[in-house]
Amino acid sequence: MRVIVTGGAGFLGTLLCRRLLAGPVPIGGAAPAEVRRLTVVDLVAPADDVGVDPRVEHVEGELSRTLGDEADAVFHLAGVVSGAAEADFDAGMHTNLDGTRAVLEYARGHATPPVLVFTSSLAVFGSDPAIGPVGPVDDDTLPRPQSSYGIQKFVGEQLVADYTRKGFVRGRSVRLMTVSVRPGRPNAAASSFLSSIVREPLAGERAVCPAPPDMPVALSSPDRTLEGILRAAEVDDATWGSRTAMNLPALTTTPREMVAALDRVAGAGTSDLVDWVEDPAVVAIVGSWPPSFDTPRAHALGLTADASYDDVVRAYRDRHT
């Protein structure tokens, strides 16, 4: 079986590649099978432990480049993140929209339509100034993106749905929650602080929280997020159901509750390393995203939210510190 992962050198992409290489995986309702060839498409090389595997090939550069022979499954994770897409409109459109179209056109050329998993985002929902704040989101809530990134992801969802309707791909779009805690350094995502206010204090470093302490947010741990991506690829078309994107389950919390969990796990006073300096630009983006989700469709596939943020912090501490 051949699998392609765009953005495969990123954090989630690396986790996904490791799982795909670790053992048999079911794709599209078929019996579990070994990945014989894994193509990692990214601007940078994959992680060392992934890159040394003889089954792995690295395609560097634009998503419009040829991806070679047909694949059984394509995981499209590559993209310009929220804050960067807002700051550089052209870069966001080129990667998030044109790049998605290029991946879909590649898949369209297959004799047998591949399973294609597209990672969308909760950023497709937003607080329309003419309507007001978003209430609890369910599987039928109308997306109203309020950022370039959200618009680009929503258009990508619609493209995946139409290519699926036409029989070009077996598409599954999953809307990811903000992933916390991510290892490494902060990136250009507007929501990056939702990892740094835990990650940096655990390393004895200061961090800035640019949001109000009681601003509600929707989060998912790396483990739960990866589980959702893989589950979307595993099921058959009938079990997947609607071509509409599926919201993954979310843990609703606040920055204040997050740093309280940090203190419970790492010791009282750890959160003293967090500086609270509000940034209106960040709040305008992240604060427009809905914090509460009702996800019966995901639950029907066996997916659940993290039980508590304490568990999320503990898992990160045990693996990365």
Question: Which residues are catalytic, by number?
Answer: 149
C-alpha span between 75 and 52 (Å, rounded): 20
Whole-Å CA distances, 266 to 74, 192, 302: 39, 21, 31
C-alpha span between 250 and 294 (Å, rounded): 8
C-alpha span between 95 and 219 (Å, rounded): 25
Helices (H) and strands (E) in the chain, counts: 13, 12
Instruction: Spell out where 47-145 has E strands.
Output: 56-59, 73-76, 115-121
C-alpha span between 307 and 321 (Å, rounded): 22
C-alpha span between 303 and 173 (Å, rounded): 15
C-alpha span between 6 and 173 (Å, rounded): 15
C-alpha span between 43 and 297 (Å, rounded): 34
